[in-house]
Structure 1
Amino acid sequence: MSAAMTTTPGTVTNGSRLSGKIALITGAAGGQGAAFARRLAAEGARVLVTDVEDAEGKEVAAQLCAHRAGAAAYQRLDVASEEDWTSALERVTEEFGPPNVLVNNAGLLHFSELEHTTLADYERLLRVNQIGTFLGMRAAVAPMTSAGGGSIVNLSSVEGLAGMPNVAAYTATKFAIRGMTKVAALELGGKGIRVNSVHPGMIDTAMIRRFTGEDTDLSPVGGKVALGRVGAPEEIAGLVAFLASDDSSYSTGAEFVADGGATATHALKS
């Protein structure tokens, strides 16, 4: 996607493809969100790192600034809070200028059979995954319009394309993100704002490890897909950087899948 790509998947040397871009990334204190922040900053963007994990988020921002002065700042953001979204948009505008990139990444995962999924657990995922994405897109419209347009990247999942047992609440929110993305793309195209969804497959992150255990061998899961392995956050970061950049200027309302080939098959595969 970029001339700055190196031989290591998902990494770049210092580049300028995103020079002049101002990005707000949710859930950026670790995992995929931190990888997105590192990649966008490495390509020249200035980044507001947001999360509810303050210590980790501040550390990510500090690391980015250590590589390039003024590259990042940290702001606490509970994505289910309208007030926090107002504060975050004010902060990024004051710190860097009106944002022209929003990455709605913050999300929760919950495993439970449908029969045993509590309303409280369902609503917990709904508030962060679905309502958080809705509030983020809504809050970004005015400042992004004032910036002359931009790109909103909503993190869905392969579970936003097809079902999987034991993740009813998660799947519901990820399908919702997919649908909201298309509506927003239709409404905001005239304002110069593009909106796309990203659908990762199994990615080795701390969120997954909380359920599998730190030392669990994920290779049997990776062996089920065409590429024969699970993915790394940096590989999704490359796709997000593409969507944040002007290289994707004619892409909106679309689904971008990075799943090692998981959705290339159907249930009859052995």
Structure 2
Amino acid sequence: MTPDRFARYPSLRGKVVLITGGGSGIGASMVEQFAHQGAKVAFLDIAETISQELVKSLTEGVEQLPFFLPCDLTDISALGSCIQNAEESVGPIEVLVNNAANDERHEWEETTPEYWDRMMAVNLRHHFFAIQAVAPGMKIRSQGSIINMSSIAWMLPGTRLPAYISAKAGIVGLTRTMARELGPSGIRVNCVLPGAIQTEKQRRLVWTPEYIERILAGQSIKRTLMPEDVARLVLFLAADDSSAITNQSYVIDGGWV
């Protein structure tokens, strides 16, 4: 539940929000926070068990449970069908959060063309086609907010992630061109670039004492950043409070880059 000290956005109440990769990590925090704002939330994820568990956990303080649809976002045809299903079940999509990604470590010397294409499909391609699917409805209503999730990894730059980093840099470019394409129709497109966020996956794979020390040394704010820190920024970009903001990229990394 949203603590009293954090903002509530009346414009999000009843708003239809679609989140990709909403079953875990930052995406799950977004699902939870939008639901507690009174939004009508639909989310897509390939991981069915944890997604269903997330829905079951959101029974307190939520007027309408999130609507989960299993979806492999690398299958663009399936993505389109899921978006259509979400709109038929929840309503016309007013906010799209392109969140799904996989920051799988890989060595540049061992990266094959097939692996590169798969990483683009997982981390970049579905952003565009999700926008393509929801934008016509937003244009009819002359409003909408699209938030694409990038990363500071390409700004540092990071290592052992060349395909992932290339995709995340591409998301910033996609944001800028689509903001220009859709702005005349009243649709805003912005980008969020998280730093090191302590998700369950990160704790499991990389969150060692040495890693924490390196992260905190790089950050100006000396505390661990959590998924809800990112979700609260996304809430603002989805709400009418940010109605004059588009074509922007927001870094949330504790002052690292």
| TM-score relative to the length of structure 1 | 0.87
1:128 pairs with 2:122: yes
Find the counterpart in structure 1 of residue 34 from structure 2: 40
Q: Give a deviation string over 1:230-258, Cα, whole Å, max 9, x none.
A: 31000000000001101111111100110
Find the counterpart in structure 1 of residue 84 from structure 2: 90
The answer to whether the 8 Å contact 1:99/1:147 transfers is: no
* Cα gap change, 1:96 to 1:227, in 2 (>3 Å): same
Matched AA of 1:34: A
- Mapped partners of 2:4, 2:103: distance in 1: 32
SS at match of 2:157: coil
Find the counterpart in structure 2 of residue 110 from structure 1: 104
Matched-pair identity in %: 33
* Cα gap change, 1:56 to 1:105, in 2 (>3 Å): same
Find the counterpart in structure 2 of residue 59 from structure 1: 53
1:260 pairs with 2:254: yes
- Mapped partners of 2:218, 2:83: distance in 1: 41
Q: Give a deviation string over 1:67-100, Cα, whole Å, max 9, x none.
A: 3242421111222222222222222211221010
- Mapped partners of 2:137, 2:154: distance in 1: 28
- Mapped partners of 1:262, 1:50: distance in 2: 31
- Mapped partners of 1:121, 1:249: distance in 2: 39
- Mapped partners of 2:59, 2:83: distance in 1: 20
The answer to whether the 8 Å contact 1:109/1:207 transfers is: no
Q: Give a deviation string over 1:116-143, Cα, whole Å, max 9, x none.
A: 3333332221101111111111111112
Find the counterpart in structure 2 of residue 76 from structure 1: 70
The answer to whether the 8 Å contact 1:65/1:72 transfers is: no
Matched AA of 2:212: S
**1:165 Cα offset (Å):** 1.9
Q: Which deviates more from structure 2 when the two are superposed, residues 126-135 or residues 221-230? A: 221-230
Find the counterpart in structure 1 of residue 15 from structure 2: 21
The answer to whether the 8 Å contact 1:62/1:73 transfers is: no
| TM-score relative to the length of structure 2 | 0.91
**1:210 Cα offset (Å):** 4.4
Superposed CA RMSD in Å reads: 2.0
The answer to whether the 8 Å contact 1:48/1:73 transfers is: yes
SS at match of 2:12: coil
1:178 pairs with 2:172: yes
Matched AA of 1:246: D
SS at match of 1:89: helix
SS at match of 1:203: coil
Find the counterpart in structure 2 of residue 146 from structure 1: 140
**Aligned to 1:219, which of 205, 209, 212?**
212
SS at match of 1:58: helix
SS at match of 2:10: coil
SS at match of 1:67: coil
The answer to whether the 8 Å contact 2:193/2:250 transfers is: yes
The answer to whether the 8 Å contact 2:16/2:90 transfers is: yes
SS at match of 2:219: coil
- Unmatched tracts of structure 2, length 5 or more: none
